[in-house]
Amino acid sequence: MTLLIAVLGIITLVFLITFVKLHTFLSFLLVSLATGLLLGMAPATVLEAIQKGISSTLGSILGIIALGAMLGKLVAQSGAAQQIATSMLILVGIKNVRWAFLATGFLVGLPLFYSVGFLLLAPLVITVASRYKLPAVYVGIPMLASLSVTQGYLPPHPAPLAILKQFNADMGLTLFYGIIIAIPAVLISGMLFGATLKRYTTQPNQSFIATELTDDQMPSTGISFLTVLLPIALIGFSVILSPFLPDGSISKQVLVLAGDPVISMLVSVLVAIVTLGIWRGKGMAKVTDLLTGSVNDVSMLFLVFSGAGALKQVLMEGGVSESIANLMQDSSVHPYVLGWGVAAVIRVCVGSSTVSGITTAGFISPLLKSSGVDSNLMVLSIGAGSMMFSHVNDTGFWLFREYFQLSMADTLKTWSVMETLVSITGLAGVMALSLIVG
């Protein structure tokens, strides 16, 4: 009965978001309240669980997401993303333009939210494709695959970060494993699948051709790469070097501190304020306005995360998590496959990879202790599942269709298949890596 109530709660959540079009935060709160009461929890206990879930979820991720939004805003407004794309094209040549956009999408996707990366880079793809008379979809799919992989797999992106915090996984190891899995994922979904799309020659929306910035209007190549990659470098150095330093030494403490997600993002934002703001002639007041606007851009994410945290806490305190753990102890389904599958189903139903990932985490968290699987790989398996088959209920689907001017059927055959490959190859990568790391 406990599991039935939980399943009905999720079905109701999907119905409210997808068909009633009720705000996601309100949907989460209503479902959390109703589910708790149906599970036999006292009203005061339900309210307490909702408050605890909201505070615990936001408390662990709010700072990182806000700092990530600030860094992304500075990268977007300064022209650093275009500088990286231009540098990649110069480096590999127009014959390898797809490789250039694949690498650019991955690098720019590390600090930027998906929608920001898309709105920045899709016009560049359309501009280059029009200039050299290449099919825009053929050129753009590798870049879009990279953006999707970084959004779905890699912290500090919001959904992977929230799942990571729920599982108490290690940020550095999750990022390291995620990059290993991301490489074959973007090669298969972006390069190999994208190579079959030359026949889609529909003229993209010419109104989205990018305004080309001059060298004087963009930061230098070195500054652009340094600023974008700095948080990843700080976390990476901490993971790789700290085990070789003496415990308690000042050098190890400094390195561990620099590799903390909040500190690494804080340092990166402070550097970006100088390199992409003040050095580019922007006064501190202008930079502060940009940073303020960036937080406004992600404010709705905080509501979604807080609502999901409330539902997670209700499920835990209502005994659902324990019931799931007991049920799955004798299941033949591998926990990674189960996490991926649940996330994939919710993603297809709701459309939001963020809602899919963090909702799934609440169901799967009790399996971590009972199954003994690696929490870092579980983050990645759920993240991969949350990218499954984007279609008409996903805003990314409509963004792609509007920019590249494809029919509904062709959008499903290109965009939706690419997202499905991102999801499946991610799971395959997790399973393969699990044979090595356990």
**Which residue matches tokens 């930061």?**
219
Residue type, 76: A
Structural contact between residues 387 and 189, judged by C-beta atoms closer than 8 angstroms: no
Q: What average pLDDT is seen over the chain?
A: 88
Residue 81 pLDDT: 83
Sign of the CA dihedral with 342 first, then 343, 344, and 348 last = positive
Q: What is the pTM of this model?
A: 0.81
Separation CA 143–CA 172 (nearest Å): 24
Tens of pLDDT along 374-400?
999 999 999 999 999 998 778 889 889
Structural contact between residues 374 and 434, judged by C-beta atoms closer than 8 angstroms: yes
Tens of pLDDT along 313-345?
888 788 876 676 666 566 678 999 999 998 998
Sign of the CA dihedral with 242 first, then 248, 253, and 259 last = positive
How many angstroms separate the Cα of 391 from the Cα of each of 141, 142, 185, 189, 231? 16, 19, 20, 16, 32
Q: Is residue 60 pLDDT above 80, yes or no?
A: no
Separation CA 378–CA 356 (nearest Å): 14
344 by Cβ neighbours in 10 Å (0-12 / 13-18 / 19+) ranks as buried
How many angstroms separate the Cα of 93 from the Cα of each of 79, 88, 110, 412, 427? 21, 8, 23, 31, 33
Each domain of the chain, given as residue ranges in start order, spans: 2-437
- The highest-confidence range among 17-31, 156-170, 237-251, 422-436, by mean pLDDT, is 422-436
Residue 3 pLDDT: 77
**Which residue matches tokens 């999750």?**
174
Tens of pLDDT along 89-131?
899 898 999 999 999 999 988 877 787 789 788 988 998 998 8
Residue type, 252: K
Residue 339 pLDDT: 92
Q: Is residue 276 pLDDT above 70, yes or no?
A: yes
**Which residue matches tokens 């009790």?**
366
Res. 438 pLDDT band, cuts 50 70 90: low
Residue 332 pLDDT: 78
Tens of pLDDT along 172-204?
899 999 999 999 999 999 999 999 999 999 989
